[in-house]
Structure 1
Amino acid sequence: MLTLGPLTVDVPVVLAPMAGITNAAYRRLCAEQGAGLYVCEMITSRGLVEGDQHTKDMLVFDELETVRSVQLYGTDPVYVGKAAEILCAEYGVAHIDLNFGCPVPKVTRKGGGGALPWKRGLLGEILEHAVAAATPYDVPVTMKTRKGIDDDHLTYLDAGRIAQESGCAAIALHGRTVAQAYSGEADWDAIAALVEHVDIPVLGNGDIWEAADALRMVEQTGAAGVVVGRGCLGRPWLFRDLAAAFRGEEVATLPTLGEVAAMMRRHAELLCQHMGEERGCKEFRKHVSWYLKGFAAGGEMRRSLGLVDSLAALDALLADLDPDEPFPASELGSPRGRQGSPRARVVLPEGWLDDADGSGSHLQEDADETTGG
């Protein structure tokens, strides 16, 4: 069980918001597999406050989504506070997470995402505005961050202290620096150090590919729960395994290709329900390679599935897969999704590193920034 202020989550597992992935359909699909907290794609505070239509379109929830959780991005305390109030008052959210972990250059270039915690004063201001706006609605505010900009500019311990002092209900730490992006291995020792450093719950993120990894992280670090991102790509049943693992049950799902095909069909069906058939099928295409990773399905089949434009066409293609093919055990425990290489230099605003206590008041945030962290 995970307690975030007034919010209780039966299983201490959080689905990390991923741009273009964790829409209402995918959150519903994962929730059908197991208990946890399922976070909406990251939205920008400025986009929400200014009524940007793209931002509004992302704030769609499934009819069975009783606990609405949203991740908010922002660099301006006033905008973040106003956005938090809108989420509480107009969208009925039960949890707000603030993104201070995104490593994407177009975000860090403006001092956002994983670059922002370097400015301790600004971080505190943003968190205080968000907490003040959400408190009247009894909505907990959490934050997600990384170890720091690079190994020479670590921020996570200060960020944890500031989060606690600002009234945050928890802090999630991805055990990589911005410079690492998604490369290399996550530093779980940093998560353990943060647990020792603060009194609020710490959630660990990074390199959770199987349910056993989540248990190991909690045992090694003392984290109150885990945040799962790339590990569930093409594997929504990971949440079934996680729920079982945290209940002390020995369950590890190894679906046959036929069972994977059924999951693919369910995913596409939910996307079509939320977006319409044409757009839903287009959205589904990006998931095909993750679902079929390690299976013997040939290149022509994969290409055809990557061009699917209707549920009928999808059904015809899935029918040609061998339903009895076993799950490729070689894929267990292996990284999924983007990895890339470490960055020689993190792109930051000019003079950003000169003053760690500055306010960063010159920052400007794009209304349509939608990159995940």
Structure 2
Amino acid sequence: MRIGPFELPNPLFVAPMAGVTDRPFRQLCKRLGAGYAVSEMVTSRRELWNSLKTSRRANHEGESAPIAVQIAGTEPIMMAEAAAYNIDRGAQIIDINMGCPAKKVCNKWAGSALMQDEALATRIVEAVVTACAPHRVPVTLKMRTGWCQQHKNALTIARAAEAAGVAMVTVHGRTREQGYKGQAEYDTIAAVKAALRIPVVANGDIASPEQAREVLQRTGADALMIGRAAQGRPWIFREIAHYLATGTYLEAPLVRDVRGWLVEHLHDHYALYGEFTGVRTARKHIGWYVRGLPGGEDFRRTMNTLESSEQQLLAVNDYFDQLAASHARLPEPQAAADDALTLEAA
């Protein structure tokens, strides 16, 4: 599996998710088996580039190649400028966001809203490809099956994107209208794969090794992109890779290993965000790790009251020490009663 000049170690990708796939999360997922990861979306609005949020998203210090950055916007020239801005800051692959269903994005006609205007969508792709060409930076596209059930046009846009020079297309098997409700469908992804010569990536409802194999079989896709299922479970990539290679299941990770990965994740997280913001934004990640585990809900409520990184780390270590006393390996999580932690993926 290649994207432009980059040979990827495997076809298991981390989906771009706003508020989730920051540099610490991407690095950990890659270390635990992901072959490729795409950043949170970076706005094409120049006046926001100097904001703290954008500067963090454009920070790739120590990140392993290839560094892929997703950009979002509605104007071809601005999107081309955003591509150049991110290339100057280390981006080696530029991904165009036409998949985000969030209202605050779609209300500005960005993200999946662009699929309603095929001509504009094509102009944006052409402008970004042109801007990236002198740098020999590949451009990829992430989209949905369409805006709504009555207007599924992923195949049309995918063909136009390939003609414009896009190196890879990812399709989430839902319309924007669906959000994350209902079941992802894979027939549209299969149709896109059959029509294109460039790699096609399948995304949507891939949360287990069995689902991964089924989606590959049903779509013929070249790779899989996993989003929400990796939240608090970044080792899912090595589990799927092992299953696809051998047909057997990898044992659940040792509790002490999970503790080590989470502590490593938290240290990197605090380093990027600082004490105040880091403690508050770490809460969701910690909540995902313990979701469905014995005592996890009570622990999460306690965690949300802690105000320092030192307190968080002590609490995390204590929780996993207690869990390790009764379970050598991570127990199978039970269905979580509170699903409010799930964020929207781009």
- TM-score over 0.5 for the pair: yes
Whichever structure has more helix as a proportion of its residues is: 2
SS at match of 2:268: helix
Equivalents in 2 of 1:277, 1:66: separation in Å?
A: 28
2:204 equivalent in structure 1: 206
SS at match of 2:157: helix
> Counterparts of 1:290-329 in structure 2 under 5 Å?
290-297=288-295, 299-317=297-315, 318-320=317-319, 321-323=322-324, 324-325=326-327, 326-329=329-332
| TM-score, length basis structure 1 | 0.84
SS at match of 1:250: coil
> Counterparts of 1:109-258 in structure 2 under 5 Å?
109-248=107-246, 250-258=248-256
Equivalents in 2 of 1:337, 1:147: separation in Å?
A: 25
Q: Is the 8 A contact 2:290 2:297 kept in 1?
A: no
Q: CA deviation at 1:200?
A: 1.6
Amino acid at match of 2:172: H
* Structure 2 portions without partners, runs of 5+: none
Equivalents in 1 of 2:49, 2:232: separation in Å?
A: 35
Change (3 A) 1:297 1:134: same
Deviation sequence 1:229-249 (CA, Å, 0-9, x none) = 001011011122233344447
Q: CA deviation at 1:280?
A: 2.2
Amino acid at match of 1:214: A
CA RMSD of aligned residues (A): 2.5
Q: CA deviation at 1:256?
A: 4.7
Equivalents in 1 of 2:29, 2:104: separation in Å?
A: 30
| TM-score, length basis structure 2 | 0.90
Amino acid at match of 1:20: G
SS at match of 1:307: coil
Q: Is the 8 A contact 2:293 2:332 kept in 1?
A: no
What percent identity do the matched residue pairs reach?
32
1:106 equivalent in structure 2: 104
Q: CA deviation at 1:278?
A: 3.7
Q: CA deviation at 1:51?
A: 4.3
Change (3 A) 1:73 1:298: closer
Structure of greater relative contact order (alpha carbons < 8 Å, 6+ residues apart): 1
Q: CA deviation at 1:115?
A: 1.7
Query: How many residues of Structure 1 are paired with residues of Structure 2 in the alignment?
Result: 340
Deviation sequence 1:130-185 (CA, Å, 0-9, x none) = 01111111111010111111111111011111111110001100000111100111
SS at match of 1:122: helix
* Structure 1 portions without partners, runs of 5+: 341-370
Q: Is the 8 A contact 1:49 1:82 kept in 2?
A: no
Equivalents in 2 of 1:114, 1:298: separation in Å?
A: 35
